[in-house]
Amino acid sequence: MILTADVPPGFELTTDDNGHPVVRHRPEGFNLDAVLSVVWLSVWMCACLWLAYVALFAPAKTSACIALFIPPFWGALIFVTGWRIWAHFSVTRITLGPDVMEIERHLHRFRSRQQFARGEVTAVRRIGYTGTNLIAPTSWGLAIDSGTTALVLERKSLDKVNWLGTVIARWADVPFAPGWDIPPQED
């Protein structure tokens, strides 16, 4: 079903304890988005520290007003930092069992798990994301339809999406056609 010679970089093929095929995807290589996230979050962190400094050492009226902004700024910083770490460093594991496909994304102790019965999968689709420059290049995602739509890959190269889409479509015995692209989504 899966030919190891065709596996694109970033994917690894193994089997689970029951002998079912497992596809693991780990983000690899230089990622400009990750670098820009680090720079942006560093600037945000400096702004949060500056707000805390002003709240502590400014005159009473000013510090009371600024103190109202500190919890939302710090809360948003913590949330966005966690979200970017999850996006850049989590590992996706797809187990293709005889009747159920399990997609698990994990990072340390945090896990997200979805299961799809073979008979419930109606389509495997490619999703296009438009990009106009180096910071936001054109990229692709992979979605599975089974009553609801679940994203398996986001913002990857076309060869990776086509390879995994073909593997999942073969397993589910549903079509995967490049012509099924959703119109590109603007960022």
Q: What is the pLDDT of residues 66-119, one digit of tens each?
A: 777 788 888 888 898 888 888 778 888 989 888 998 989 888 888 888 888 888
From the options 3.30.1150, 3.30.1490, 2.30.29, 1.10.10, give the CATH code of 4-30+90-185: 2.30.29
Would you list the domain boundaries of the chain? 4-30+90-185, 33-86
Kind of pairing between the strands at 123-129 and 182-185: parallel
Distance CA 51, CA 67 (A): 8
Q: In the block, which residue shows the tokens 């000013």?
A: 62
Q: Over 60: is that where the pLDDT of 173 sits?
A: yes
3-state SS assignment for residue 30: coil
Distance CA 3, CA 7 (A): 7
| Predicted confidence band of residue 180 (pLDDT cuts 50, 70, 90) | very low
Q: Using the 8-state DSSP alphabet, how is residue 10 labeled?
A: T
* 30 CA to centre of own chain: 16
Residues of the chain above pLDDT 90, percent: 2
pLDDT of residue 130: 64
Distance CA 94, CA 113 (A): 10
Cβ proximity of 28 and 34 under 8 Å: no
Distance CA 171, CA 98 (A): 9
pTM for the model stands at 0.73
Kind of pairing between the strands at 123-129 and 139-145: antiparallel
Distance CA 182, CA 148 (A): 15
CB atoms under 10 Å from CB of 126, counted, come to 20
- What mean pLDDT is reported for the chain? 79
